[in-house]
Amino acid sequence: MTVSTCVKCGGHSFEVALFTPLGRSYKLSMVQCSSCGVPVGVLDPSVQARLEALKTQIAAIDERMTRIARALAG
Ligand SMILES: [Zn+2]
């Protein structure tokens, strides 16, 4: 694996920092250079929770489809 390099200072270490976007009430996680603070990416911490909710919905749909299939077969 190649080592990520900061475009500004050439540093190789990065950290995750929480920040609140201007005018918003939620926080986002930002990956930044630990030497100079240049942001290299943003992570949305709510993605995991939303994925879990989607999984639950898909399971419920799957269960209903199984019931419909059984009703049609019977
Ligand atoms: Zn840097």
Query: What pLDDT sits at residue 1?
Result: 83
Query: What pLDDT sits at residue 9?
Result: 96
CA distances from 45 to 24, 42, 70 (A): 15, 10, 40
Are 33 and 69 contained in the same domain?
no
pLDDT digits (tens, 9 = 90+) for 28-50: 889 999 999 999 888 877 788 88
Are 50 and 32 contained in the same domain?
no
Cα gap 29→20, rounded to integer Å: 9
Are 38 and 53 contained in the same domain?
no
Are 31 and 58 contained in the same domain?
no
Are 38 and 3 contained in the same domain?
yes
Residue 74 has pLDDT above 90, yes or no: no
Q: Compute the distance from residue 42 Cα to the ligand 1 centre, in Å.
A: 16
| Mean predicted lDDT score pLDDT of the chain | 91
Q: Compute the distance from residue 34 Cα to the ligand 1 centre, in Å.
A: 7
How many distinct structural domains can be found in the chain?
A: 2
Element (H, E) at 63: helix 47-73
Query: What pLDDT sits at residue 14?
Result: 95
What average pLDDT does range 13-41 have in this prediction?
Answer: 91
Q: Compute the distance from residue 15 Cα to the ligand 1 centre, in Å.
A: 11
Structure tokens at 56: 């639950």
